[in-house]
Amino acid sequence: MNGLEAFWDETAIVPISALEHYAYCPRQCALIHIEQTYEENEYTLRGRSLHEQVDIPRTAVEEGLLSHSALPIWSIRLGIIGRADLVLFYPDGTPYPVEYKSGRRKVKYHDDIQLCAQAMGLEEMLNHPVPKGSIYYHASRRRREVVFSPDLRRLTEQVILEVRDMLQRGTVPPPVNDARCPNCSLIGVCMPDLISTLQNSTASYSPFRLVDSEDAG
């Protein structure tokens, strides 16, 4: 029991995974968390297979540090809930969250926001500062360390508010229709090209255009 329900309406509790989806594309977040749409592509399949290896709660010693995998995480202050792939504990008790991603090492702010939310949850649960963590990129077998700076913490809290607002309203934003789309598993159901074309043609339609300018006035 994490006690979140005593402080938050069920509809206001934000899944930590939704933060990453929203920071990547708000429409992707809405399709997954409001419309319950889920499609696989090569990236999600690779990610799922990787997560199956860390989805089993387990305590071990790694590189001389105590580690917990699939650790439940929440924050009553922020109204968020989720699970950390792995949390290492330094001898002084400092937690160090590690998130596994299937791709290659690359700076991705949506990954950092997800990890930062986990860190803020750990801080509240354990009453211990969590200054940094890392993303492990399976394809390149490399880690990228993330420092939980005041700016990243502020951005993460802002994203939590925006996701909560969107989920409670139940609104699905329009497609971004940009370089994010070709790698998105939801491109088939989202149809960013078609929706954007329809929206543009609707926006350029005006009943006043039916009146020839020479007839106007």
Q: Which parts of this chain interact with ligand SF4 (CB under 6 A)?
A: 25, 27-28, 31, 175-177, 180-181, 184, 186-187, 190, 192
Minimal distance, residue 162 CB to ligand SF4, in Å: 15
Alpha carbon 67 to its chain's center: 23
Minimal distance, residue 26 CB to ligand SF4, in Å: 8
Here the tokens at position 140 are 């390149």
Minimal distance, residue 204 CB to ligand SF4, in Å: 21
> What's the CA gap between 143 and 100, in Å, rounded?
9
Q: For residues 126 and 176, which CB has a smaller minimum distance to ligand SF4 in the complex?
A: 176
> What's the CA gap between 161 and 140, in Å, rounded?
33
Minimal distance, residue 184 CB to ligand SF4, in Å: 3
Q: For residues 19 and 98, which CB has a smaller minimum distance to ligand SF4 in the complex?
A: 19
Q: For residues 68 and 180, which CB has a smaller minimum distance to ligand SF4 in the complex?
A: 180
DSSP H or E stretch at residue 161:
helix 150-169
Q: For residues 108 and 153, which CB has a smaller minimum distance to ligand SF4 in the complex?
A: 108
CB within 8 A of 167, min separation 6: which ones? Answer: 11, 14, 18, 33, 34
Q: For residues 117 and 186, which CB has a smaller minimum distance to ligand SF4 in the complex?
A: 186
Please report how many Cα atoms fall inside a 13 Å half-sphere around the Cα of residue 194, on the Cβ side.
Answer: 5
Contact 168, 11 (CB under 8 A): yes
Minimal distance, residue 159 CB to ligand SF4, in Å: 16
